[in-house]
Structure 1
């Protein structure tokens, strides 16, 4: 089994995390699932995988890889992401969205 960074350590990996506001778990899940297909069409996309916590249902993570920071920036400015960002105050808990840009070192 391989991951995208096995062959290319220069990829920009992103781990984004968020927790649904109480009672908004299904709405947040649906909103996140709607981001996947348009994101797969973007330049610089490598993978965009949505996960939900086993221990803490309603906490979601995207594990993403992009060819560059510029590609990620374009993704964050894409209409489907801008529309999602406008819904953050309604869908997410008080901690909001956390985005970590990381590089694989081992």
Structure 2
């Protein structure tokens, strides 16, 4: 699985407009083959920073998202609302079973 964390910096006073514009992209992304999770988060510390956390079944499905019509439309239209290019970090992740998670959790020191 691939996890992408993307951060956008909006122009001052443009966050609400950016969020509104993103709605079609978010809905379209949820319907994409290979999308496991796609959520937008607002920074609690910075009124102009928005994070997207995405999870994809594979690198191929994550890359296909970048060619989806709803993503291309959002990307083009959001240029006027944001400062610079988004920052993207990609991670390989492993889906854990409840048993695997418990093994890890049990190793955490307790008070």
**Under a length normalisation based on structure 1, what TM-score does the superposition of the two structures give?**
0.81
Structure 2 unaligned residues grouped into runs of 5+: 95-103, 105-111
Deviation for aligned residue 1:69: 0.9
CA RMSD of aligned residues (A): 1.6
Equivalent residues in 2 for 1:47-66, closer than 5 Å: 47-66=37-56
Q: Against the structure 1 CA distance between its residues 89 and 36, is the aligned structure 2 distance closer, same or farther, given a 3 Å change threshold?
A: closer
For residues 61-80 of structure 1, the aligned pairs below 5 Å read 61-80=51-70
Relative to its length, the structure with more strand (as a share) is 1
Q: Bigger radius of gyration, 1 or 2?
A: 2
Q: Equivalents in 2 of 1:103, 1:30: separation in Å? A: 30
Count how many residue pairs are aligned between Structure 1 and Structure 2.
Answer: 95
Worse-superposed segment, 29-38 or 64-73:
29-38
5 Å-filtered alignment, 1:25-104, equals 25-93=15-83, 95-104=84-93
